[in-house]
Structure 1
Amino acid sequence: MAKKTVEDLDLKGKKVLVRVDFNVPIKDDVITNDNRIVAAIPTIDYITAEGGKAILFSHLGRVKTEEDKAGKSLKPVAERLSELLGKPVTFVPETRGKELEEAIANMKDGDVLVVENTRFEDIDGKKESKNDPELGKYWASLGDVFVNDAFGTAHRAHASNVGIASNLPTAVGYLMEKEIKFIGGVVENPQRPFVAILGGAKVSDKIGVIENLIDKADKILIGGGMTYTFQAAQGRKVGMSICEKDKLDLARELLEKAGDKLILPVDTVCAPDFDNDAPTTILTGDIPDDLEGLDIGPETIKLFTEELQGAKTVIWNGPMGVFELPTFAKGTIGVCEAIANLKDATTIIGGGDSAAAAIQLGFADEFTHISTGGGASLEYLEGKVLPGVESISDK
């Protein structure tokens, strides 16, 4: 997919509207994780170095009422961005109007400005989230060109991405370009052997991904809570483990369609309670009624490690167990290590909990690419068209 990039635009003296993903966790006005801000800096730096005026748009959390606005201002983000850039960043506590327009008019080449939370426009009729045409046109009128660098919202048609893009010359930023290259590359033309590892709690969350990857991947390794729905579909007893009983027929269909491509765990770490200090048992067969599966076992880690050998492309989405509890993190750690040790392979984490796990467990630098989008990554892997990507001009 050859989209125009920020380097294809003439930026000198231009007002460059940039959709970034600054949806970061904030507690008591303090940012607890600034990864998404850091990830946007290469694009911002390029725009300002080329003499453009960077005008940044982002949402932060969900905002439906006036009360929801508390703690959702982008002011702390603008302050942190200023520290990271080592230069002043103007923050405008408005999403439209005279104050915003004057602040933009007063910008000099190389300046950076952050507009208030775009979701503040959702209080009166969901204008941002419903891609209100008038709002997209108004925001577009504030700039000369538009750069979309927010893959995390690319699966949604909002006024601050698709709305602006409909009214201006457009391009992708460096972060979005990487997502298209790696996630899009997996969907369109992976190097083989191609192995997908899918975890997480529910089969229903990954139905589209599994169906799409059955035709594309050479192997699909299944872990996490969705394991037990597949095992129940095979007639196994799964005890108190999470199991989507209304998806058993679908799980059987997927097992039949995938054949030996789809590989399930061969042992399970079980416990009577969802508790880090609960006594654990490793089982290879049925799980009794008084136990639940909370992680893949050591034989499965060994099996998955063997199945990964020789892989040229690996994509991983979803943890192998309850990685937040150290007792049940061994499977996720084992998979992280197995992927990290692969030589000459393109290794990709498809956002969400698996990205959080890799970062939390200290493996972030061992992967070729960690996606910044959870839902967007999943929909891209399903082969869906993402509105935020589709709205960008082709080369």
Structure 2
Amino acid sequence: MAWKTLDQMDLAGKRVLTRVDINVPVVDGAVTDATRITRIVPTVRDILAAGGKPILLAHFGRPGGKRVDNLSLQQLVPTLEQALGAPVLFAADCVGPAAQAAVDALQDGQVLLLENTRFHKGETKNDPDLTAQMAALGDVFCSDAFSAAHRAHCSTTGLAALLPSCAGRLMQAELSALESALGNPRRPVTAVVGGAKVSTKLELLSNLVEKVDTLVIGGGMANTFLAAQGKPIGTSLAERLMIDTANGIMTKAEGLNCTILLPRDVVVARRFEANAPHETVPADQCPEDAMILDAGPESVAAIDAVFQDSKTLIWNGPLGAFEIEPFDAATNAAALKAAARTASGDLISVAGGGDTVAALNASGAARDFTYISTAGGAFLEWMEGKTLPGVAALEA
């Protein structure tokens, strides 16, 4: 661990520039899901407890480098105050006189939220002048936005070069969980990768076959692999132009002693709609006029057997069309098996990605997973083996 934590920093009396991700959904000015806000609470409270003054930096939406009223962070102040249990002041800019005046007025026990960093074009360009203006507002930089760590922006990487830096509690938890899953895992290691397209997860699959013992492939991308094996897939979603690529991944896995587990039986239907008439057939017997919408019970049993022997599990993507019943059955059953193994202390389970989080929450399995990452792009790039600029900056 080359990065520092809050425990290694002297924060008493210090202005702590804290990069957070509070890019939450808002409808008619009201926050509809405060998960990302509640996840920053431990960091902010620990800074306050250590005598520091938290100054929050964050982006919101994609304003394109200009001020957009409905993308102002001011609308999040009430939700932040409720979550933090502390007064939250607001500055109408993240640099300049307005920000400086707000910082100067900040009292012990208060939190300051600066305006949307992306109102400045220089933010996404990691502009040195804008970074210097931000740095002038603080004494310490705390990075607590792993979900933005794959971006080399002023507030994610630039500040780490100018101020004493550390990881916040959320960043610390993310990095620790990811290190335990792929950096130095307990073996055997299993990865579950689902989703619609092989093309969007090509780098991910290529990296994982080098790192894991078993790779479970589900969702629409499993159809492409079944087609690559010469099995009929009817009218199923698949990328037929990626068949050679799928064969290449299977060949690579075989050479690395990584087992690829594909569906052994599948649930098929003629219509993509909830509770459509359906049947379960062997994976090599999909009717010409049917589409594969889920893995069958024999496939789930095979996945369960792999989980039973695994010590570490990484999960990204559902096994079927989990959004509509009953084609969520395989995802739910496998997730609950992983959750039970985790709860008994036999498995370290780390999951991430928007569809994954939604699926695990729907099944009720999420609460027993070791760690659920709310980071989308950053989690995926980490699984692909890429260096994340925001993490590298903390380690520099």
TM-score normalised by the chain length of structure 2 = 0.94
The residue number in structure 1 matching 2:267 is 269
With over 3 angstroms needed to count, the CA separation of the structure-2 counterparts of 1:393 and 1:196, relative to structure 1, is closer
Matches within 5 A, 1:276-295: 276-284=274-282, 285-295=284-294
RMSD, aligned CA = 1.6
**Gapped runs of 5+ residues in structure 2?**
none
Q: CA deviation at 1:88?
A: 1.1
Deviations 1:194-244 (A, max 9, x none): 111111111122222222221221111111111011111111222222211
The residue number in structure 2 matching 1:62 is 62
Q: Quick one: distance in 1 between partners of 2:199 and 2:131? A: 34
The residue number in structure 2 matching 1:11 is 11
- Alignment check: 8 A CA contact 1:26 1:71 kept: no
- Alignment check: 8 A CA contact 2:336 2:363 kept: no
Q: CA deviation at 1:264?
A: 0.3
Matches within 5 A, 1:1-395: 1-64=1-64, 69-121=68-120, 126-259=121-254, 261-284=259-282, 285-342=284-341, 343=344, 344-393=346-395
Q: CA deviation at 1:183?
A: 1.1
Q: CA deviation at 1:309?
A: 0.5
Q: What secondary structure is seen at the aligned counterpart in 1 of 2:250?
A: helix
Amino acid at match of 1:2: A
Amino acid at match of 2:228: A
Q: Quick one: distance in 1 between partners of 2:266 and 2:193? A: 16
Amino acid at match of 1:116: E
With over 3 angstroms needed to count, the CA separation of the structure-2 counterparts of 1:84 and 1:278, relative to structure 1, is same
- Identity among equivalent pairs (%): 44
Q: Quick one: distance in 1 between partners of 2:70 and 2:331? A: 33
Q: What secondary structure is seen at the aligned counterpart in 1 of 2:51?
A: coil
Say which is worse superposed, 239-248 or 225-234, in terms of deviation: 239-248
Amino acid at match of 1:60: F
Q: CA deviation at 1:70?
A: 4.7
After the TM superposition, which segments of 4 or more aligned residues of structure 1 sit over 6 Å from their partners?
A: none
Q: Quick one: distance in 2 between partners of 1:291 and 1:129? A: 46
- Alignment check: 8 A CA contact 1:17 1:54 kept: yes
Q: Quick one: distance in 2 between partners of 1:325 and 1:387? A: 37
Q: Quick one: distance in 2 between partners of 1:109 and 1:86? A: 14
Q: Quick one: distance in 2 between partners of 1:42 and 1:140? A: 23
Q: What secondary structure is seen at the aligned counterpart in 1 of 2:39?
A: helix
Q: Quick one: distance in 1 between partners of 2:374 and 2:366? A: 12
With over 3 angstroms needed to count, the CA separation of the structure-2 counterparts of 1:83 and 1:2, relative to structure 1, is same
Q: What secondary structure is seen at the aligned counterpart in 1 of 2:17?
A: strand
Say which is worse superposed, 57-66 or 269-278, in terms of deviation: 57-66
Q: Quick one: distance in 2 between partners of 1:341 and 1:59? A: 37
Q: Quick one: distance in 1 between partners of 2:213 and 2:275? A: 38
Q: CA deviation at 1:188?
A: 1.8
Say which is worse superposed, 14-23 or 241-250, in terms of deviation: 241-250
Q: Quick one: distance in 2 between partners of 1:300 and 1:368? A: 24
Q: Quick one: distance in 2 between partners of 1:291 and 1:117? A: 48
- Alignment check: 8 A CA contact 2:266 2:281 kept: yes
TM-score normalised by the chain length of structure 1 = 0.94
Q: Quick one: distance in 2 between partners of 1:375 and 1:315? A: 16
Q: What secondary structure is seen at the aligned counterpart in 2 of 1:23?
A: coil
Q: CA deviation at 1:393?
A: 4.0
Q: What secondary structure is seen at the aligned counterpart in 1 of 2:268?
A: strand
Deviations 1:312-341 (A, max 9, x none): 111111111121212211111011111011
Q: CA deviation at 1:364?
A: 2.0
- Alignment check: 8 A CA contact 2:96 2:133 kept: no
Q: Quick one: distance in 1 between partners of 2:110 and 2:395? A: 25
Q: Quick one: distance in 1 between partners of 2:43 and 2:99? A: 22
Q: Quick one: distance in 2 between partners of 1:55 and 1:182? A: 26
- Alignment check: 8 A CA contact 2:20 2:145 kept: yes
**Gapped runs of 5+ residues in structure 1?**
none
